[in-house]
Every structure is written in C-alpha cells, then in structure tokens.
Structure 1
C-alpha cells in the first residue's frame, strides 16, 4: 500500500509541474463528420486537422511553421473543394451533390486545431437510406480514419471510415442499440491497436512477465502458469484502472487538460520501461499498471469525446468501447506471451528483447514526453 501511495504521489507531482494549456495529443490522424438528417434535409459539419490539410495541400504559405488565420481564410475554397471531392453522399441510391455552407471556422480538438467545414447535401427527395463514401487522405495516409456521428429520427449512430471500409450504408430508422454497442467495441479495439503509447506501456509491463529478478539478474520462470498469472494481474489492474477514469471522464465527473494527460502517459511509458532495466517494482508490476492505468483512461476518454456518444445509449456505448479496449489488449497478450515464454531462456530475449527493447521504448517515450510537455515537435507522431 505504501508503494502505491508513493507512486500516486509521484504521478500527481509530475502532473503539477506541467502547465495546463492544451497541446497536441499525438494520436493518429482522424477527422470528425457530424451529419444530421431532419425534415428531409441532409446537413453536416466536417472537422479536419489543419496539420493533415497542410501536408495534403499546403496551408503554411510563408513556410514559418505556423498556420495563421489569414493563410487559412485564403485557402477556404481550396479546402472545401479538396474535402468535398473526397466525400460522396447518396439518398436511396441517388446522388446528393454536396456544397459548402457558411464561413471559414476553426475549432480545437484534443490534438490541436481543426478547420470546420459546414456543408449540405441536395437530395432530390427525403431519404430513407443514406450511403456515404469517404476517401479523405486515402492516397497519402492509409492510417487515417473518418469518425462519423449520424443523427436521424431522434437517434444517434456512429461509424468509422477507413480505406478498407470506405463506403457504408445507413438505414435512417431508429438504430438498434446493439449495433451501436458493436460499433463502439470495434472502435475500442482499433484505438488500442493504433495507440502506440498505450501499446508500449503494456509491452513494457509484459516483457519481464516470463522472467523473475533473482540474485541481481533476470532468471527465466519455471512454468507457463507462473508467467500467465503475472500477466493476468497486470492486464486486470490496467483494465480496472482505465475503466474507472474512462467512465468518470466520459460521464463528465472528472476532467483534466489534454496536455497533462498525454504528457503523463508518455512519462508512464518511460518509467515502466526503465523498471525493466533496473527493477524497483519487481513482483508488484500490477501496481504500476493500476496507478498509471488511471491516467491512460483519461487518454481513452479523449477519443470518445471527439467521436461523440449517443445519449440514448450512453452506458452501452461506454461499456462497448471498454470491452473493445480489453479485447485489443488480450489479442496483444495472446500473441506476445507464448513467444516470450518460448524465448525466455535465451540470451537474445534477456539482452536484446528485454534490455534493448526497454531502452528503446524509454528513449522514444522520453521524446514524446518532451514534445507533449513543452509543446514542441521532434518526431511528429
């Protein structure tokens, strides 16, 4: 208990050292589509990251590394043309031409500034079924995703567009709550798989799971059961911790600035990796997973905040996302643990995988911490 309290104190002290201003959250490229179908009209708002648009069409005219309001306003027509050419809408199988509406706007998400593009779709008749085809940045960033929130018939549904799932069809009748649940499970799995900092934190805790620290050195465990129980404690502690803070943040009971959250996540990866080099919490790594898992939950919550939650199925969506995160973690463990156990007696595993891998993870996470805490760009991802 004393160790846990010390870790909590250190974590809170580290957060207190950071300025509370927002900063880039260093998450993968996403855009946010909010589409409404009401009174036979289809309207929408599309939030697209300025950093992504700058890479695609060039917004920084003077090349000084900053996108000014004047530079952005001057390219409003180009932005609208570029984006709307990569989104197609059909109502009941008939094309609905898109047009940009309203002036240029900018909004801030958890990972920086986004342009706000308002548009409308001219469907010839009130649609009963909507088909959307999304190809934004598909030619330059295969990891990019479009996160859709569709409001129709007084209900909200969500979807994720990707190069593999670019065209999707939606019946505009009230959606099945279990379909929404499934969508959020998929989103949870996807988020943990593309959340490099979350994965590296988990891997840092798993690397010594097939070893034990004895006589000032790492020794292989004797049985798979021992390794499995150790890993089970770690994954369970991490899951319980991030579930607590994810729920609190999503329900609006607790809120922390993105800069603090993302910086602390990077710091947790550094500490977890360095613990493999010089163990301080050997046999108690589950406490590390729990304490720092609390902060990772706030990171997960930022994804749900940007995606939007259906108010009519709030709890179901929250549970679905959490289950998805857990399934994503278990898939990683299922691949990692048997391989690590098979290699645990080799010098290669202890020297290259454990020691070398941990040092590499710590170095990478230290760079992330510097970028997030001091609002600077070194690696850019």
Structure 2
C-alpha cells in the first residue's frame, strides 16, 4: 500500500479541486444529504409490509449502498492506494464484516444510536481515511495507525448507521430475520457494484500522467466532504 505526504506535491490544479469540491457539495445537498437515509417511498413500503420478502429487501439493501455517498466515499478512500486485488479483497471484506455485524445485531437487538451522531461518525471516517491517504498521521504524530483495524472499526460504525435507519422505520417482526439477511445481502451486492465501478475508474485514472497530483486533490476534496457531513449532522443534532 502506498501513501502520499502532505508536502509531496505543492502544485494542486485549482480547476480540478473546484470540480471535486462541487461534486462533494452536490452530494451533500441532495434530498437526503442532511442525514442519509432510506428513501421516503422505500420507508413507506418497509412500514406497510409484513412477512418474508427476500427479493424486495435485497433490492432495498443494494439500492441503499449504491446511493449511499457516505459509504461510497469511505470505500473509495480505503481502496485509493490499493493496487492488488487481493489487498482490495482483504480491506473490503473487513469493511463488510464490520457493517454486516452491527447492521444485523443492531436491528435484531434494537440497538439504536442517535442518527445525527452516527452519521457524524461516518463523516469522521471519511475524514480519517483522507488524512491517512495524505500521510498526515505519520507527518503529525510520527506513527501509522493500523489501517486494517481502522477499516473494521469504521465498518462497525457504518453498520450502526444502517441499523439505526431501519429501526426508525419500525420494521415488522414477522419475517424480520430473513428480511434482514436479504437486506444485508443486498448491501453487499450494492457494495460490489460500487466497488467494480470505482476500480474501473481508478484503473484508468492511475494510467494518466497527472495521477499523483490529482490524487492529492481528490483526497483533500474527500476530506472536505467528510467535514461538511460532520458539520451538517452536528448542526442537526443541536437544532433538533
């Protein structure tokens, strides 16, 4: 795995940074940007049905992950400097184990966390990964955090974010376990779809001559998006 330091490149393309920051702002100001959740139509469907609906919950899980910009941003940061598929598989598996565990246990045992707090922590995970990619921890503190443990721990946090949303919608206990398993399978399918798209784009991007300069820019933009998400969630926490 390779990391870039803060001072490796001092020339950052302003237009590229502006474009990436605009993309981050657009994501965060989307209809669900204030607190990413299951869409209102899907929320009504979840509340109304009972019994086992494996296909429906698989679809909902995949949809939630593919449209979950906060999860995708973290996943993007995790694989940013992973060049070998076996390394990608290890880190993505750790993330999947983390969010699958807390998603299933959180809903089954009704362990809810304030949605603003957990979404702020998810935003923090994005900031952490961007700083990690920029080599900030080595530069500031002289040590490198264990990236595998961090991926697993933040995976737990992302899973609690998912479980908290589902608990808020008061899902029927009839067929709860198979529906939850189907939802989790859908989340993993959505993650694989998102991962495939990211790897294709990254494979092309890494062949471009300006990749390293743009890599710095992308991680600064990702960090900014994470801070914005944290700010929105903390504002919502105190306002509401």
Contact residue 309 and residue 317 of structure 1 kept, 8 A: no
Report matched runs for 1:227-238 at 5 Å: 227-238=84-95
Which residue number corresponds to residue 44 of structure 2?
A: 147
3-state SS of paired residue (2:44): strand
Deviation at 1:361, TM superposition (A): 0.9
Deviation at 1:199, TM superposition (A): 1.0
Contact residue 119 and residue 161 of structure 2 kept, 8 A: yes
Distance in 2 between the 1:376 and 1:244 partners? 26
Distance in 1 between the 2:201 and 2:36 partners? 29
Distance in 2 between the 1:368 and 1:335 partners? 23
Which residue number corresponds to residue 9 of structure 2?
A: none
Which residue number corresponds to residue 362 of structure 1?
A: 223
Which residue number corresponds to residue 27 of structure 1?
A: 36
Contact residue 148 and residue 307 of structure 1 kept, 8 A: no
Distance in 2 between the 1:248 and 1:229 partners? 28
Which residue number corresponds to residue 245 of structure 1?
A: 102
| TM-score, normalisation: structure 1 | 0.48
| TM-score, normalisation: structure 2 | 0.74
Which structure is higher in strand share? 1
**4+ residue runs over 4 A deviation:** 279-284
3-state SS of paired residue (1:209): coil
Which residue number corresponds to residue 294 of structure 1?
A: 156
CA distance change for structure 1 residues 363 and 355 in 2, over 3 Å: closer, same or farther? same
CA distance change for structure 1 residues 314 and 188 in 2, over 3 Å: closer, same or farther? same
Contact residue 108 and residue 177 of structure 2 kept, 8 A: no
Aligned length: 201
Distance in 1 between the 2:66 and 2:216 partners? 23
Which residue number corresponds to residue 206 of structure 1?
A: 79
Structure 2 unaligned runs (5+)? 1-32, 138-142
Contact residue 277 and residue 355 of structure 1 kept, 8 A: yes
Q: RMSD in angstroms over aligned alpha carbons?
A: 2.7
Which residue number corresponds to residue 375 of structure 1?
A: 236
Which structure is higher in helix share? 2
CA distance change for structure 1 residues 149 and 244 in 2, over 3 Å: closer, same or farther? closer
Q: Please say if 1:186 is aligned against 2:186.
A: no
Distance in 1 between the 2:180 and 2:147 partners? 27
CA distance change for structure 1 residues 25 and 257 in 2, over 3 Å: closer, same or farther? farther
**Cα deviation per residue 1:254-298 (whole Å; 9 max; x = unaligned)?**
332223211111111111112111165979533222111111011
Which residue number corresponds to residue 336 of structure 1?
A: 198
CA distance change for structure 1 residues 286 and 341 in 2, over 3 Å: closer, same or farther? farther
